Chains A and B, each alone.
Chain A
């Protein structure tokens, strides 16, 4: 029993660290496979590839078809993100700062928007849009994705708002700002990281969403997720892997940006 304590502690930790690494590997492995295959030199999906090249990237980046899909995804995603902030930001203020009867019900409804099965959302939106002529439009899909984007913004912004010291806003007002001026100069800048993270989430959930997109925008103009889905069904060359890798890179860049912003805020 005269063994040093840190030694026995590290023995006890070893299995734990092993489990963590195993779980991480399990989560990351599919991503790694896709990324590796995207650099394959062969004409079909195989892992590990026998040779490497960037030919598939050249393929999709020069293909008008893929370019159109990218462009649609970006337009839908950006519009959905903006709509989500436009609705979610004031809603978060109301939910955190006002006494609203039935606040609990409202919050539960918001979460319900996140957990409604996408297939049901897709079908009902399709039927709802048909008479309105919103199917196969960028606006239609963006509005559909806003339904799931709003809760992301509300959850992130209200977390920031709950931690916000109301005296800061009072200090701005007493020293000469109007209510709106105080929001613009003090409150919004301070909760900005929460707003940005919420916006990035709203964009990413739109960019990766397949089922609703399949219903609403399945035929002529296809966003990236739909295009990927269809490509898998008709061909199995590694260009799909290259497109997926680009989508993943997109998400990684967005998250790094959001983290940098939060890190800078902690420094300030």
Chain B
């Protein structure tokens, strides 16, 4: 029922579609460091986008330029086609959830949530009161209006910050690692609430995080950033299953990346010489590498099969290695394996793997079609 659009809302406060965001080759330098380097991105109206990357990747700087706290050195930003690089933050129709929440300590929860409505003006007291009460109900804090932020738990503060950010139904909502300060259970629970709020308010959400599972769970579009550039921008499934670069594959978690040289490339399959030794087949997908090019072969841990005898199926590739460690997770086990100096990871069902133990010689196998060849990304200078 919370996700239902509210009817009979005062003008300008009802749910409405978010804005389309377009970043057109924006750059930001701090001294000699280029924090954001010619980033271009199109964010559809009302979508949920995550900027994902390690610290120093430029995701927060990008967010601060969208907010208007930083002015890009080059390039332009468009909200619904309107250039905004020179528009003050308070004129951009944005809401924001800060990592530290930034709740006003001298105001009650009610006054914090009412703040954007009062600051923007245009609503009378009764309308503001109704909007604030509705919003507090939406984040299940209806009885906490008279409290001060210091009297709330971390999760409650996060919800107040969320309520304040969306109460004025901004066309863009920015979230800067909004769950970073919370423990895991609470994070999982609040992810659900953030999704629900996104559906109900319809704003365009831009979410900065370094947690890939958060990004995969919440987003329509995941933008992986590295050293001030966009490494890949795709939907969550594609980002995880079809990463375009070794960096993305590694950042999305637990990937085996085997460096290799392309020995030959026919139409459907590539032949690779692994640097660790051995020749394997790999599917040719996406842009095709040239003969002799250095690439990485990605094998996801969950696609690995562990065998004792060489497989008969020519579609199954194998590498011999020794078991370094067996970690038990209930439903699955994670194996660390040593293949002539390269450490590999495999995640296999616990059932049927009872006999595996450290020191054992096994074969690390995968179906040729489940692997991916990743080319190194080259940026134009």
Contact = CB atoms under 8 A, between A and B. Distances in A.
Interface of A: 165, 167-168, 170-178, 181, 185-186, 189-190, 265, 267-268
A268 B148 contact: yes
Contact of B119 (A167, A170, A172, A190): A172
Contact of B69 (A170, A176, A186): A170
Given A167-B98, A174-B89, 12 more contacts: A170-B69, A170-B98, A171-B104, A171-B164, A173-B89, A174-B68, A176-B90, A176-B116, A176-B168, A181-B119, A265-B106, A268-B150
A168 B90 contact: no
B31 interface: no
Most-contacted residue by chain A among B95, B106, B119, B121 (CB, 10 A): B119
B334 to A, nearest CB: 39
17 contacts: A165-B100, A165-B102, A170-B69, A170-B96, A172-B119, A174-B90, A174-B92, A174-B174, A175-B90, A175-B95, A175-B119, A176-B90, A176-B168, A185-B119, A268-B105, A268-B148, A268-B150
Nearest to A176: B119
A171 B105 contact: no
Interface string B85-109: 0001110101110111011111000
B120 interface: yes
B67 interface: yes
Contact of A167 (B68, B102, B174): B102
Nearest 3 CB-CB pairings of A with B: A176-B119, A175-B116, A167-B102
A189 B106 CA distance: 7
A268 B119 CA distance: 22
Contacts of A168: 102, 104-105
Interface in B61-98: 67-69, 88-90, 92, 94-96, 98
B115 interface: yes
A48 to B, nearest CB: 49
A29 B274 CA distance: 88
Most-contacted residue by chain A among B98, B121, B168 (CB, 10 A): B98
Nearest to B104: A186
B150 A171 contact: no
Contacts, number: 73
Contacts of A167: 98-100, 102
A178 B90 contact: yes
Nearest to B108: A268
A153 B118 CA distance: 32
Contacts of A171: 96, 98, 102-104, 164
A181 B98 CA distance: 20
B100 A175 contact: no
Contacts of A189: 106
B105 A174 contact: no
Given A170-B69, A181-B119, A268-B148, A175 B98 contact: no
Contacts of A172: 104, 115, 119
B95 A174 contact: yes
Contact of B90 (A173, A186, A190): A173
B141 to A, nearest CB: 18
A268 B96 contact: no
Nearest to B120: A176
Most-contacted residue by chain A among B103, B106, B121, B148 (CB, 10 A): B106
A189 B115 CA distance: 15
Interface string B170-204: 00001000000000000000000000000000000
A20 to B, nearest CB: 32
B139 to A, nearest CB: 16
A175 B168 contact: yes
Contacts of B104: 168, 171-172, 186, 190
A268 B106 contact: yes
Interface string B153-175: 00000000000110010000010
Interface in B112-162: 115-116, 119-121, 148, 150
B157 to A, nearest CB: 13
A52 to B, nearest CB: 47
A41 to B, nearest CB: 51
A165 B103 CA distance: 10
A175 B120 CA distance: 7
A183 to B, nearest CB: 13
Contacts of B99: 167
A19 to B, nearest CB: 37
Contacts of B94: 174
Contacts of A265: 106
A175 B69 contact: no
A158 B168 CA distance: 34
B154 to A, nearest CB: 16
